[in-house]
Amino acid sequence: MSDIEQLPRLHPARLGALPPDVRRPGYARDDLRAGIVHLGIGAFHRGHQAEITEAAIEAMGGDGLHWGIIGVSLRRPDTRDALKPQEGLYTLALRSATAETLQVIGAVLGVLVAEEDPEIVLDRIAHRDTHIVSLTVTEKGYCHDPATGELNRADRDIIEDLSAVSHPVTAIGYLALGLQRRMQRGLGPVTLLSCDNLASNGDTLRRVLLAFCAEIDPALHDWVAARCTFPNTMVDRIVPKTTIDDVAHVSSALGLYDAWPVVGEPFFQWVIEDRFAAGRPQWEAGGAQFVADARPFEVLKHRLVNGSQSMMAYMGVLAGWATTDRVIAQPAVHTFISDAMARETQPTLPPLPGLDVDAYRASLLPRFTNPALGHRTRQIAMDGSQKIPQRLLAPIRDRIAAGQPFARLALGVAAWLHFLRGYDEAGNAFPIEDPLAQPMAAVMADAARQTEKLFDARTREQARVRTIAGFTPVFGDLAQSAVFVDTVAAQLELLCAHGVTGALTRVNGAA
């Protein structure tokens, strides 16, 4: 046992022992009830929605005490095991390059592990106190076709849920059965609130859930369609994976052992469509923004923030740069990302009245350079098949439709394809963590076989990209676009011949 673990455990009975500069719950936590069930209670949720719910509970006084959170981990017990001895308490450490603030969050009342006891999770969704079921299950958790947003009926877990519907595996299965119980018990509807980085995330959730419900119970489909709401949202805060060093640092600062703190940047943005079926917390007290249509803000974040992060991640992994602050510190990367955002991505954004997009874009580079976060490129690089369609392919489609060049965005796509080989420029192998890893590997192998006898580099890469782009779950119909194939092939040729730094230098030097 480490010295840190020998400290007294963070616990409601010990909140009075915290240093005076550590914020703690400012309400009667013993009176808090759970009005929110959250599926996928990882660091991202605890670093944004839970913090803002904490602010709402405090701002609402007694009226806020029915907005506590029951978290659900669909498979892994680690969050439950860490937070149970702390009765749900954990520390949020917000770090800039020069400062850190600590706050103990009390909004999470407990964590359930769905795989261990699905009945408890289903009953919690069907509880009369539950008014919102929210989700951060990552893009792959929606079991959808990334190119179309439709339910992927060929998904292995969806097939399992439809064949053994009493014991769900997916978030979609849990939602469907939990809502079915609400309907059967005569309870009211709930709001289904996606906080994941999906295009039109609420609309996507509604589409896949209704398709699933139609398969198991047409009456449930009609009940959900008529009564439940699915607001679109956009959340923006960088929340890297918690490390052992983070645990040690935060626990030392508290004087109490916190087994599972969360680290994040100070910047926060949460844009939500104000369409709630059964009330909501006053999240605006914590800085949330309610709008009629969140989709323009989603596009803003997916393309400027997440698209830049993905390009940095794939280039960083290939070149051996482990964290995004190290990546963006490379002069060639800094120039590339700045130009890609300004010249290629920003012109594809929809109108955003009231937002200074130039200022927003300018604020991103300092956020990416924050060395206190240690945001690992390998973490961002996961699940590229679910991310690339909205982050890079969507703006590329817009550039093609407008007859505009997209060499920088194409280099980002080429970096992903190069990453899918599974080894970096030094020859070090790494696993490809992606729900479509196997079919993508088969496509990559097929492309290699088809091009092994082509000795002209440009012709070879064009044939390779054309074959890979024929994988419609990710690329849709882009294989039919000669300009897409040619532009990505040219950038892939640069990467193969000159490496990341050489390719960046040549793209930066182009008009």
DSSP for 367-412 reads: HHT-TTT--BHHHHHTTHHHHHIIIIIHHHHHHHHTT---HHHHHH
The answer to whether 82 and 260 are in contact (CB under 8 A) is: yes
The answer to whether 45 and 53 are in contact (CB under 8 A) is: no
The two structure tokens encoding residue 97 = 């390059």
Fold held by 1-291? Rossmann fold (3.40.50)
Nearest alpha-carbon partner for 50 in 71, 28, 74: 71
- CA dist 11 and 15 (Å) reads 7
For the chain, where do the domains classified as CATH 3.40.50.720 start and end? 1-291
The answer to whether 258 and 86 are in contact (CB under 8 A) is: yes
- CA dist 484 and 495 (Å) reads 17
- CA dist 172 and 161 (Å) reads 9
User: Which residues 6+ apart lie within 8 Å of 175 measured at CB?
Assistant: 39, 125, 133, 192, 209
Kindly report, residue by residue over 49-106, the tens digit of the pLDDT.
999 999 999 999 999 999 999 999 998 999 999 999 999 999 999 999 899 999 999 9
- CA dist 247 and 414 (Å) reads 37
Pairing of β 108-113 and β 191-194: unpaired
Nearest alpha-carbon partner for 105 in 63, 62, 71: 71
End-to-end CA distance of the chain: 58
Nearest alpha-carbon partner for 301 in 279, 271, 263, 277: 271
Nearest alpha-carbon partner for 386 in 73, 152, 47: 152
- Bridge partner list, 69: 36, 108
Angle between the 307-319 and 357-368 helix axes, to the nearest 10 degrees? 30
CATH architecture of 295-510: Orthogonal Bundle (1.10)
For the chain, where do the domains classified as CATH 1.10.1040.10 start and end? 295-510
Q: pLDDT truncated to tens, each residue of the chain (511 aa)?
A: 578 889 999 999 999 999 999 999 999 999 999 999 999 999 999 999 999 999 999 999 999 999 999 999 998 999 999 999 999 999 999 999 899 999 999 999 999 999 999 999 999 999 999 999 999 999 999 999 988 899 999 999 999 999 877 789 999 999 999 999 999 999 999 999 999 999 899 999 999 999 999 999 999 999 999 999 999 999 999 999 999 999 999 999 999 999 999 999 999 999 999 999 999 999 999 999 999 999 999 999 999 999 999 999 999 999 999 999 999 999 999 999 999 999 999 999 999 988 999 999 999 999 999 999 999 999 999 999 999 999 999 999 999 999 999 999 999 999 999 999 999 999 999 999 999 999 999 999 999 999 888 888 889 999 999 999 999 999 999 999 999 999 999 999 999 999 999 999 999 988 5
CA 190 vs. chain centroid, Å, equals 23
- CA dist 174 and 121 (Å) reads 8
Angle between the 331-339 and 482-509 helix axes, to the nearest 10 degrees? 130
